[in-house]
Structure 1
């Protein structure tokens, strides 16, 4: 008898416990890329919610640009930092999901070293976000905005590397690049506006 809910889980490909040869790893990555073609599209609700998640970034940025030097600007900058930290933590959480419940067609999640990397990638963005929340207590909030720029950019680049190995669905990365580009434009706009 199968454990409850197991019939809903995708089959995974077992990998050897010993380290794989470079040729074997390339073959696994090629197979994962092939399987990722199955996951070409994200559900429309994921796209809509992803775009809706940009609204606080856009709203804070527009507010900061419209009220230069006015009273609400420091609060808007802090709201931008707070929301950026939350979203960075959310992006890390996606990788915990990949490690704990691999998407259909992904091969690498069965490898312990990949799971460790994913779990680390799941925590590091939230720590960067937490640091961004603490920075305004001891320094300029603009340092926190700059840290968020670095956090979003590095997280996306690391995810892109994982996607090239077949460990992250291509459709997810396509959406991530678009959303991250808007987030980085907002953060950089605020940074440049406040500096100059």
Structure 2
């Protein structure tokens, strides 16, 4: 299947979605310039990344409940997948900072792949996947930057 015909990205979705990457950007930029609070900002970044990964995973729970064009097996797969990102995110919070960031990047990229697979069997608004791609790119770039700063600064 393909994307649903859609009007342009709703303004409130744009504000909420792109506003959601601001903590990634600010925290990643604070880490290299604040030696006194680096550990706090690093922990905040990993924790925020974990919350966001859990959030995008939960989207698939909602998709499984509401998408009428999914087979029972496809719906079951979405329900099962929807909890995996939260488990990955939780593990990321338990790891040393650079490894937690890397695990979150892997989780975000794998989840984007799951979004693409969902689009093959169901329909989503045309703006959904391009927005998810951009948000995943920015969040992942910030996490990778912070992981490199932490690894090189230690």
Q: Same fold (TM over 0.5)?
A: yes
Partners of 2:112 and 2:132 within 8 A in 1: yes
What is the DSSP-based 3-state SS (H/G/I as helix, E as strand, rest coil) of the residue aligned with 1:170? Answer: coil
Matched residue, 1:48: 15
Q: 2:103 aligns with which of 147, 152, 162?
A: 147
Uncovered stretches (5+) of structure 2, i.e. residues with no partner = none
Partner of residue 87, structure 2: 127
Are residues 81 and 167 of structure 1, via their aligned partners in 2, closer, same or farther at CA, if it must alter by over 3 Å?
A: same
Deviations 1:62-95 (A, max 9, x none): 101222xx12001100000110000011001111
Q: Show the counterpart of 2:140.
A: 184
Query: Match of 1:79?
Result: 44
**Aligned ranges for residues 18-167 of structure 1 at < 5 Å?**
29=1, 33=2, 36-67=3-34, 70-102=35-67, 107-108=69-70, 111-135=71-95, 140-167=96-123
Structure 1 SS opposite 2:131: helix
Gaps of 5+ in 1: 1-28
The CA distance in 1 between the partners of 2:46 and 2:8, in whole Å, is 31
What's the offset of the Cα at 1:195? 1.9
Instruction: Give TM-score scaled by structure 2 length.
Output: 0.90
Q: Provide Cα deviations, 1:30-52, integer angstroms capped at 9, x if missing partner.
A: xxx2xx33235332211110011
Distance 1:75 1:152 in 2: 22
2:131 aligns with one of 156, 175, 183: 175
Partner SS, residue 41 of structure 1 = coil
Larger radius of gyration: 1
Say if 1:159 and 1:168, in contact at 8 Å, map to a contact too: no
Judge conservation of contact 1:156–1:176 (CA < 8 Å) in 2. yes
Judged with a 3 Å threshold, the aligned counterparts in structure 2 of structure 1 residues 130 and 64 are, in CA distance, closer, same or farther, namely same
Check conservation: 2:4, 2:124, Cα contact below 8 A.
no
How much does 1:107 deviate? 2.1
Q: How does 1:8-27 map to 2 (within 5 A)?
A: none
Give the number of aligned pairs.
Answer: 152
**Higher relative contact order, structure no. (Cα contacts within 8 Å, ≥ 6 residues apart):** 2
